[in-house]
Chains A and B, each alone.
Chain A
Amino acid sequence: EPEVTQTPSHQVTQMGQEVILRCVPISNHLYFYWYRQILGQKVEFLVSFYNNEISEKSEIFDDQFSVERPDGSNFTLKIRSTKLEDSAMYFCASRLQGVWDEQFFGPGTRLTVL
């Protein structure tokens, strides 16, 4: 069964450093998402991406964040200058096409900012 994959599973970085989180969505899916979950808290939407552009973003997704689909398979989330409060699990998700199609989530990347 096809699945969303994410690398790395755990990333440790120093405050102020740039990080790139990588995701490989399911191959024929057209919509891509990033969510995050701070330990013990709710899953929060960050951004959705379709047709090579951002379709929706939350207030969390400020100028420090960017997304890119550099080739036909990868979908990346970049945090330009990490802060302590960026420590969280980051989940990538993809959706086939229809607005009511389910989102398939990856296993997540745990980001720890020291």
Chain B
Amino acid sequence: DAKTTQPNSMESNEEEPVHLPCNHSTISGTDYIHWYRQLPSQGPEYVIHGLTSNVNNRMASLAIAEDRKSSTLILHRATLRDAAVYYCISLRAGSYQLTFGKGTKLSVIP
């Protein structure tokens, strides 16, 4: 799996958009980009994933750079419940395991 790099922490005001960046400069053409998050004292939770095109779901949007060396998770309106550690994971084709890094700890300020 390609190495991913994320900022250690970020802050956002409640009800404002949040852009969480991730660099994955060594990603290969068939690696998918997955995002998970872990709320305090809970197990990880799937957020979104994509390959080349931007993706939207009810939780978030994923913007993938044209060269695929970076991506951005977008939370359109941060709520207090979105305070969590967000993990960007490059998933190699044929691999079953998720390799978690340290992620980005998102704090949401009321």
Contacts from B to A (Cβ < 8 Å): 32, 34, 38, 42-46, 49, 87, 91, 93-102
User: For B45, what are the chain A residues with a Cβ–Cβ distance below 8 Å?
Assistant: 105
Contacts from A to B (Cβ < 8 Å): 4, 31, 33, 35, 42-45, 48, 50, 55-56, 58, 91, 93, 95, 99-100, 102-108
Q: A56 touches which one: B32, B38, B42, B95 (CB < 8 A)?
A: B95
Residue among B32, B34, B87, B97 with the most chain A CB within 10 A?
A: B97
Q: B98 touches which one: A45, A106, A108 (CB < 8 A)?
A: A45
Q: Flag if B97 contacts A105 (CB, 8 Å).
A: no
User: For A35, what are the chain B residues with a Cβ–Cβ distance below 8 Å?
Assistant: 44, 98, 100
Q: B38 touches which one: A43, A93, A99, A100 (CB < 8 A)?
A: A43
Query: Can you sample 29 A-B contacts with CB below 8 Å?
Result: A4-B43, A31-B96, A33-B97, A35-B98, A35-B100, A42-B101, A42-B102, A43-B38, A43-B87, A43-B98, A43-B100, A45-B99, A48-B96, A48-B97, A50-B96, A56-B96, A91-B43, A91-B44, A93-B43, A99-B93, A99-B96, A100-B49, A102-B46, A102-B49, A103-B46, A103-B98, A107-B42, A108-B42, A108-B43
